[in-house]
């Protein structure tokens, strides 16, 4: 991101921050909707019993994949400013949602395959 001017860097970090919060919002709304459709209580796995472990798994997996994708985006040559400014927040949005969904998918898997 060294080739970006101040405004581009600021807008990129602003979009990354918004994408992080949006992934949390989408995660909560979508999984509560899915649980209601399945007839289960809409309490998310990150809000239940073994909360610390689920949160570490969720945030860790989302952060690891998002960092890997953002790092790979920064390795592209020639580095396109639009890809950095819009690709990194998109990677954070998608990977944040998928990472947060890992405990939910695991809970559904355990209930179905008991």
Q: Is the pLDDT of residue 79 over 80?
A: no
Please state, in angstroms and rounded to a whole number, the distance separating the CA atoms of residues 4 and 99.
Answer: 29
- pLDDT, residue 77, reads 63
pLDDT digits (tens, 9 = 90+) for 32-46: 898 888 888 877 776
pLDDT at 56 over 80: no
HEC profile for the chain? Answer: CCCCCHHHHHHHHHHHHHHHHHHHHHHHHHHHHHHHHHCCCCCCHHHCCCHHHHHHHHHHHHHHHHHHHHHHHHHCCCCCHHHHHHHHHHHHHHHHHHHHHHHHHHHHHHHHCC
Answer for the pair 85, 8: CB distance below 8 angstroms, yes or no: yes
pTM: predicted TM-score of the whole model, two decimal places: 0.71
Q: Work out the pLDDT band at 1, boundaries 50, 70, 90.
A: very low
Mean residue pLDDT across the chain: 78
pLDDT band at 87 (very low <50, low <70, confident <90, very high): confident
């Amino acid at each position: 991101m060294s080739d970006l001017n101040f405004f581009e860097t600021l807008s990129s970090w602003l979009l990354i921050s918004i994408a992080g919060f949006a992934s949390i919002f989408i995660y909560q709304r979508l999984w509560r909707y899915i649980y209601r459709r399945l007839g289960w209580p809409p309490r998310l796995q990150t809000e239940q019993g073994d909360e610390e472990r689920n949160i570490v798994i969720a945030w860790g997996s989302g952060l690891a994949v998002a960092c890997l994708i953002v790092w790979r985006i920064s390795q592209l040559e020639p580095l396109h400013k639009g890809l950095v400014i819009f690709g990194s927040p998109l990677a954070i949005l998608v990977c944040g949602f998928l990472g947060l969904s890992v405990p939910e998918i695991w809970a559904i898997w355990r209930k179905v395959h008991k």
